[in-house]
Chain A
Amino acid sequence: MTGKRNPWAWLAPLIAFAAVVSYFLVFAEVATLRDFPWINLPLVWGAIVLAVLGLHRARASGHGKFVAVAGLLATLVLAALFHAYVFWLSYQLPAATTAAAVSTPAPGFTLTDQTGASVSLSDYPGRNVLIVFYRGHW
């Protein structure tokens, strides 16, 4: 055990970081995985386990305790931020009391589309219209 390399100390926070970033860049494209991060949350928990393992090994060998502690803290911070996003932040939406109601006339509007053309709701009389309002990509 003495002198054996202990990669978990720095690998764990790296895995946690990859798990968090990949949720936004990759897995959020798939509806079931965006609704609940079935892959990314377990990856983050796995990273925490590895970080704890890394700390245990460092204490057993007497080497690299500082790195191991730093790695565990970094993993915990990343995990906490991700949990906060999934379980709290993404619920922070205003109450729906002001939203336009079902069985009322749909409010009209005139906006510009991606080609620069002007588009109004009234351009499509007699057709169904699906409108998706989203937060944007800012």
Chain B
Amino acid sequence: MQSRIQDFEALDTVVMAISVDSVDKNREIAASHCPDILLLSDPGLAAVDAYGLRHVGAGLDGDIARPATFVIDRRGQIAWRDLTENWRVRPRPDRILEVLAGLEESTPVPGLTRVGFSGLSHRHQRLYEFHTQSLSACAAEECPDAGDHPPPAASA
């Protein structure tokens, strides 16, 4: 995922990885492999149990997480999950980015319109809050006047 971190950021996605490894171990791994991913230490298996992923006896001296991948949407719902049958096989970043892009298409963020922001800085993207409805995907009953309100001109 680290190699595609900018693609995840472009889709406004925070990337987290959870295991029973200690904070020290995670610090080593982050330094050498994935500085932009939040490596979360869960030795007590609190999050692992919350997501129902405990693998009893699989660790050297205890339980660990069963490998799994979850995509959580902007509303805090689990939008997609992958529970691999084989711990060597994990979903590819491309597949997950597809899922995230699909979420962006189908879940308009209230108050924001879907306008290409290429060239604008991240700060400017955040400054623009358009009050027109998204034209691409919202249901007619949510935005009966879609199309009647063109977005204001984006000035740099």
Interface residues of A (CB under 8 A from B): 28, 31, 34-35, 86, 90-94, 96, 98-109, 111-116, 119, 121, 124-138
Contacts and interface: CB of A to CB of B under 8 A. Distances in A.
Contact of A131 (B12, B54, B69): B69
A86 B87 CA distance: 10
Contacts, number: 196
B20 to A, nearest CB: 5
Interface of B: 1, 8, 11-21, 23, 25-27, 29-30, 38-42, 46-48, 50-56, 58-60, 64-74, 76-81, 83-90, 92, 96, 100, 103, 109
Nearest to A135: B64
Contact of B65 (A106, A119, A135): A135
B25 A103 contact: no
Instruction: Describe B's contact surface by its main secondary structure.
Output: mixed
A100 B68 CA distance: 10
A90 B88 contact: yes
A99 B103 contact: no
Given A119-B16, A138-B59, A133 B88 contact: no
A132 B74 contact: no
A107 B47 CA distance: 8
27 contacts: A28-B88, A31-B92, A96-B83, A98-B54, A100-B70, A100-B78, A102-B78, A103-B79, A105-B78, A107-B47, A108-B50, A109-B46, A111-B42, A112-B23, A114-B29, A114-B38, A128-B71, A129-B13, A130-B8, A130-B96, A132-B15, A132-B16, A132-B90, A133-B67, A133-B68, A134-B17, A136-B25
